[in-house]
Structure 1
Amino acid sequence: MSMFSKVDIGGGLSDFWDYIREPRPHRWTAWGVALVLPVVVFYGFSEHLIPYDPPQRQIIYFENWTTNRSAAEVRADWIDRAKETTARNAKKRAEYQRFADSLGIEYDSAEADEVTRDTIGEEAAEAAKRRPEPPKRSTLAERAARGAAPSQDR
């Protein structure tokens, strides 16, 4: 038979209550320390273990456009930014196209490519679509055919 087969919770609680009710000389002092000590420890941890600095007010200056810009300058700026965005999108789309081709998935970007050609021009669209050339590396067979390199440690 196990020691914990019959647990008497009621008896334990009544013994604890009897112990608390006994008039001891430093009963209230012990209660005060038992309650205040954890509060002080938790407060100390929360305030000083991980200090919190409230955010400071910041003034951030940036270059603004002049008030006397013409509508043509504004439109030219918009077009420049649109061309940059379109070129970035074309590069990303070309990467997705190569990835889809490597997996054998159909990926049709003809409509988006047409918009890119209309926006940034034929040459820029083709340049964005071109795959960068990998660095040229010699194979083991090519290095063997050239012969062993002379040793430099003499």
Structure 2
Amino acid sequence: MRLISRLNPAEGVGDFWAYIRRPQPYRWPILGLSMLMTGTLLFWVLQERYYLPPERPQVTYITTFAPGRTDEEIIASNIANEARKDALAAEQAERDEIRREIYRTFGRAAGMDVEKIEREAAAERAREEAAEKARREALIGESIAEPAE
């Protein structure tokens, strides 16, 4: 009960009213200014803002294929693309082999053991591929396309 008697708002209101009733030259301007500042702050904090939803974007689709293609045309296009891709991969493999042969010749001229270097590089590639496969399996688990062993 002692705490409630200490928190009596009637005494505080009475003290405020006695202070306001005293004749002071600046009491009304100070009261008006304090009410104006409090009101301005409350107005600024409590006002609502309405944000309109963003305008829907206008999507323009760029197509490289005719929209009315038949399934046979799609299959023929896919076969032609695969043949082009295989030809490019064969050309790249040929260029890679020429480059490796140049490096082998240069390595032999420099006195290096080229066969040992190639074995080490093949072993390193195999380790990296195994690590990549293990990482992928850990991420996605067993694939539907690959049957369980």
TM-score, normalisation: structure 2: 0.30
- Higher RCO, Cα 8 Å, sep 6+: 1
TM-score, normalisation: structure 1: 0.30
The structure that has the greater radius of gyration is 2
Higher helix share: 2
